[in-house]
Homo-oligomer: A and B are copies of this chain.
Amino acid sequence: MKRIGVGLLGFGTVGGGVYKTLRSQEDVILKRTETLFEVRSILVKEKEKERSIEGVQPLITTDFDRVLESGVEVIVEAIGGTEPARMYVERALEAGCHVVTANKELMAKHGVQLERLARHHQVQILYEASVGGGIPVLGTMGHFLKANRVQRITGILNGTTNYILTRMAREGASFEEVLAEAQQKGYAEADPAADVDGFDAVYKLAILCRLAFETQVSVQQILREGIRDITPEELELAQRLGYVVKLLATGEQYGEKGPVSLGVSPSLLPISHPLAGVEGVYNAIHLEGDVVGDVTLVGRGAGERPTASAVVEDLSNLFRLPSPKLPLSDSMLLPAGEAGGSRFLFMKLREGEVPEPEKLRQKLERIGLEVVDVVSARGGVAFILRRWDPSYTSVVVTELGLELSQIVSRPVQGGGLCQEQQPEMEGVV
């Protein structure tokens, strides 16, 4: 039996959850990995705050040096943000400690450098909890897709926005209403920007992208659109066209070491797509490999227990699994969602205006657009168009005499796959 000293940085939702999980799973972990993890010190911001977990008071400190001196081989970082988390993680690695973190912002912005530092000091840094909470997506990419080239990833990576969109679609409520209620219940932060404006999903996509395409991108380069402008009318019309609207993170690579395109934006998925039914708190990642085809992983993307589970699974694996090698290269970044795919166009009507879907369809066709489908309701008219080009937006606005603010345009994803979802099978016996 090995005895491993652990230092916790942060003792909030995740840090507290890790502490409790190490206790409740102690026997299972010991039986299966012959390792006993002992929390030896806990770094917090406010020493005086009352802690609901019994017996931890003597471990609590606000002095990082005391953590390093408490006989620890592993540091679990659960503070969040970049500073001082980054400084502490660096110091831990330099002191020869392994690091497990749940911090997506840190790993998105400084992951490459921190992994390099870890290698230099012959320790590991693992961060499964930073993407998709309890879903073992980083592990799957690092260990079970070694012989596959990942061609595309599509993810629902933010629980708060998925919860808001799910409720808006079910109840026809507005973004503001659902957000306010979510904040009241503690489901959304007082400052919701990180979630609803897509920053959180962008961080996670940057991390996924490194593993999937072995390429390094800075988070500023990733297209980012949030969900603030989504209306229940738009969701309803999308639904009537056979789609759901999700805040999707998508990454695609064109050929090996080829250019990649990455983006987070509200997008339509056909209801038959594996990600379309992923609702509320659930997160999901759809991976396409060149041999395996598509694999979808679904689970709880956040919350105390799923996140703590991922951290503790990383802990158990530190001394079992090899560190996945990441031979990173630079790739050209193409603008996301701009290629000739399908598009959802929602035209909001002006006060008192009557929807005339057929007339609008004819107008769109006259200017050369390929209309696949159209529906209308009191609030507006929605189209599915083929072979979209971003330049069309201004053409549509001009030709139809609209204002730019009347038009909402979203990519339609998962079209190719949808056909494969038909129950055809080759050699499946």
Contacts and interface: CB of A to CB of B under 8 A. Distances in A.
Contacts of A293: 134, 299-300, 303, 305-306, 309
- Please state the number of chain copies in the assembly: 2
Contacts of A298: 274, 295-298
Interface in A2-31: 13, 21, 24-25, 28-29, 31
Contacts of A315: 147
Contact of A292 (B145, B148, B289, B310): B310
Contacts of A28: 146-149, 256
Nearest to A273: B277
Interface in A173-196: 186-189, 195
A139 B279 CA distance: 26
A424 interface: yes
A139 to B, nearest CB: 5
B325 A32 contact: yes
A159 interface: yes
Contact of A188 (B321, B426, B429): B429
Interface in A346-366: none
Contacts of A424: 280-281
A279 B428 CA distance: 14
A406 interface: no
A425 B159 contact: yes
A83 B26 CA distance: 42
B427 A317 contact: no
Between A139, A143, A167, A256, the greatest number of chain B beta carbons within 10 A of the residue's beta carbon is seen for A143
A312 interface: yes
Nearest to A295: B299
Interface residues of A, number: 83
A158 to B, nearest CB: 10
Contact of A309 (B292, B301, B306, B309): B292
Contacts of A306: 291-293
B146 A136 contact: no
B327 A31 contact: yes
Interface in A272-292: 272, 274, 276-282, 289-292
Contacts of A308: 291
A342 interface: no
B147 A136 contact: no
A265 B253 CA distance: 41
B136 A144 contact: yes
Nearest to A22: B147
B134 A292 contact: yes
Contact of A163 (B145, B146, B186, B428): B428
A187 B422 CA distance: 14
A279 B144 contact: no
A171 B66 CA distance: 68
Given A29-B147, A147-B28, A316-B146, A427 B291 contact: no
Between A33, A298, A315, the greatest number of chain B beta carbons within 10 A of the residue's beta carbon is seen for A298
A221 interface: no
- 5 residue pairs, one from A and one from B, having the closest CB atoms: A280-B423, A292-B309, A136-B144, A134-B292, A291-B309
Given A134-B293, A293-B306, 9 more contacts: A28-B148, A143-B321, A147-B309, A163-B428, A166-B423, A187-B429, A280-B422, A293-B305, A296-B299
Interface of A: 13, 21, 24-25, 28-29, 31-33, 128, 134-136, 139-140, 143-149, 159-160, 163, 166-167, 170, 186-189, 195, 256, 272, 274, 276-282, 289-306, 308-310, 312-313, 315-317, 320-322, 325, 327, 421-429
15 contacts: A24-B290, A25-B148, A29-B146, A134-B292, A136-B140, A136-B144, A140-B144, A143-B320, A147-B312, A160-B428, A187-B425, A281-B425, A292-B309, A292-B310, A303-B425
